[in-house]
């Protein structure tokens, strides 16, 4: 069973050991997007990374989710 742990820019909405869904979270203003994104959970020690621009404050936020 793999597990995704958000480091920055995301909150985990759901995960089942192989897939996870997360919501974008702006670390600048704390805004959490209502829609979820589903991706595979990275293997232990690897990171899932992505970027988004916050709709509320315009912050360019990096998403990092660590696989465990």
One of 2, 50, 59, 68 touching Zn ion (CB under 5 A)? 59
Residue 29 or 39: which CB sits closer to Zn ion?
Answer: 29
d(CA 63, CA 21): 13
d(CA 47, CA 42): 6
Task: Give the nearest distance from C-beta 46 to Zn ion in angstroms.
Answer: 27
One of 5, 31, 36, 37 touching Zn ion (CB under 5 A)? 31
x/- letters, 3..22, toward Zn ion (CB under 5 A) = --------------------
CA distances from 47 to 2, 6, 56 (A): 12, 9, 26
| 21, 15 Cβ separation under 8 angstroms | yes
Residues lying near Zn ion in the complex (CB under 5 A) are found at: 26, 28-29, 31, 54, 56-57, 59
């Amino acid at each position: 069973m793999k597990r995704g742990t958000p480091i920055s820019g995301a909150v985990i909405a759901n995960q089942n050991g192989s897939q996870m869904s997360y919501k974008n979270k702006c670390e600048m203003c704390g805004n959490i997007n209502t829609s979820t994104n589903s991706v595979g959970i990275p293997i232990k020690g690897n990171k899932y990374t992505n970027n988004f621009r916050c709709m509320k404050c315009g912050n360019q936020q990096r998403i990092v989710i660590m696989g465990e």
